[in-house]
Every structure is written in C-alpha cells, then in structure tokens.
Structure 1
Amino acid sequence: MNYLAIKHLHMTAAGLSILLFIIRAYWSVTGSAMLQRRAVKIVPHVVDTVLLACAVALSIMLGAAGMQPWVLTKIVLLIAYIGVGTIAIKRGKTVRSRGIAAIIAIAIFAYIVGVAINHHPASWFA
C-alpha cells in the first residue's frame, strides 16, 4: 500500500472512530441498552485498531520525519482522549460526569485533527 492510500484509510478510520464515540457517549449519557449490544462493543475497537495500525505504518514510512513534535503531540493527546473517553462511556459514575467527559474527549479529538492538518503542536492556534 502506498502512503496516500494508508493516509486516506487513517482519516476514514478517524472519522468513523469519532462518530462511533459520539454515538456511544450519547447512549452512555441517556442510559441506553444499546451499549450492551455485541457489535457496539466490538466494532469501535476494530476501527480504532485500523486507525492505530495506519498511524504506525505512516510513521514508519515517514522515518525520522515521523517523530516530529506534532506527531508526538498527537500521541500524547491520543492517550488523553482514550482516558477521558473511558470516563465518558463506562467509568463515569454520574450522567453529568459522563457528559462532561464526552465533551472534553470530543474537544481533544478536534485538537488532534488540528495538529494533523497544521502539522503543528499548537493545532488550530498555530
């Protein structure tokens, strides 16, 4: 696979990932039984695995350029997004805490997109 194909797959997986997160966070806040469905528990992990695999492949293809400050920023923010996302979907004890965590996770994701587009750790503020 060439760089552009992997990049497009990565971007598609990112779009699907945030879409699935928003849906699951909504269900978590509203107490929907949909969160217990087997596909809802499996599909997001498959999408996120594709997203991460593409990210690793792109970093390898970029070589030393793959460890630029903006790439490292995306990695750190990804870890924060995952942590806050788990609070939004399952670890938050109250509806309010899950809702706030969901909003914060979406904001982190938006910041990651800005970092990716602008190739700068300051994201949209560069």
Structure 2
Amino acid sequence: MYMAIKHIHLLCVALSGLGFLLRGLWVLARGGLPRWLPVRVLPHVVDTLLLASAIALAVMSSQYPPHSTWITAKIVGLLVYIGLGTVALKRGRTQGVRAVAFVGALAVFGWIVSVALTRNPAGYLAGGAG
C-alpha cells in the first residue's frame, strides 16, 4: 500500500509541477489564465491528491514535522511556493513581478524536490555531489 501511495504522490508531483509551469508560461505569454474549466479545476484536484498522499505517507512512515526536519523543510517550502505561485499566476500587478515570482516559485519547487530526494532540509543548497 505504501508503494502505491508513493507512486501516486510522485505522479502528482510531476503533474503539479508541469501544470504550474504551463500555466505560468501561459500567464506570461498571454497576460492571464484561460477560462477553460479543466485549467481552473484540474490543478486543485491534483494538488489535493498530492497533499493527501503526502499526509498518508507521513503517517505510514511515522515521519512528522518537527521530528523529521526534512519534512518540516518541505512544508515551509510548500508555503513559500504557494505564495510565489499566487503572485505569479494571479496577484502580480505587472508582468515583471509575475515573471520574478514565477522563476522564484520554480526554484522553490526544484528545491522541495531536492529535499525529498536527499532527505536533507537544505536540499540542493547543501552542496556537494549527490
């Protein structure tokens, strides 16, 4: 069961990241998000499954914040990612602000993935050959 949930989680990570990348590029190129229903609804479905699978994995493996510092780091990173993503897709007043927030959100997303892969709260910021 653990491996099935882990695979769902990894699939949702990929879908969520790809979806954000595509929506961010759309916003920067067109100045707004399309009003098409799947574009508005699908990210919420994927991110809900992503969060639910993350909670299930944490419970199944008994790794909880703040006892697992790498999980705590991922949660803090997730909050930063959500904040930057909201600016990039909706709240940024200018294209420049949106672009900077978009690049920042992508960097944070990459860092969160690196934290998960290394189980080090610094992720790729820890340096060294992995």
Q: Normalised by the size of structure 2, how large is the TM-score? A: 0.90
| Superposed CA RMSD | 1.3
Q: Which runs of 5+ in 2 are unaligned?
A: none
Q: What code does the residue aligned with 1:56 have?
A: I
Equivalent residue of 2:121, what SS? coil
CA contact (8 A) 2:31 2:95 kept: no
Structure 1 distance, partners of 2:43, 2:7, is 18
| % identical equivalent positions | 43
Q: What code does the residue aligned with 2:89 have?
A: I
Residue 9 (1) aligns with residue 5 (2): no
Structure 1 distance, partners of 2:17, 2:34, is 16
CA contact (8 A) 1:58 1:66 kept: no
In structure 2, the partner of 1:87 is: 87
Matches within 5 A, 1:1-126: 2-31=1-30, 35-63=34-62, 65-67=63-65, 68-126=68-126
Deviation (angstroms), 1:35: 2.2
- Deviation sequence 1:21-58 (CA, Å, 0-9, x none): 01111111112665221110000110000000000000
Number of aligned residue pairs: 124
- Deviation sequence 1:93-126 (CA, Å, 0-9, x none): 1111111111000000000011000001010243
Write 1 or 2 for the structure with the bigger share of helix: 1
Task: Name whichever of 27-36 and 76-85 sits farther off.
Answer: 27-36
Relative to structure 1, is the Cα distance of residues 112 and 33 closer, same or farther in structure 2, using a 3 angstrom cutoff?
Answer: closer
Q: Normalised by the size of structure 1, how large is the TM-score? A: 0.93
Q: Which runs of 5+ in 1 are unaligned?
A: none
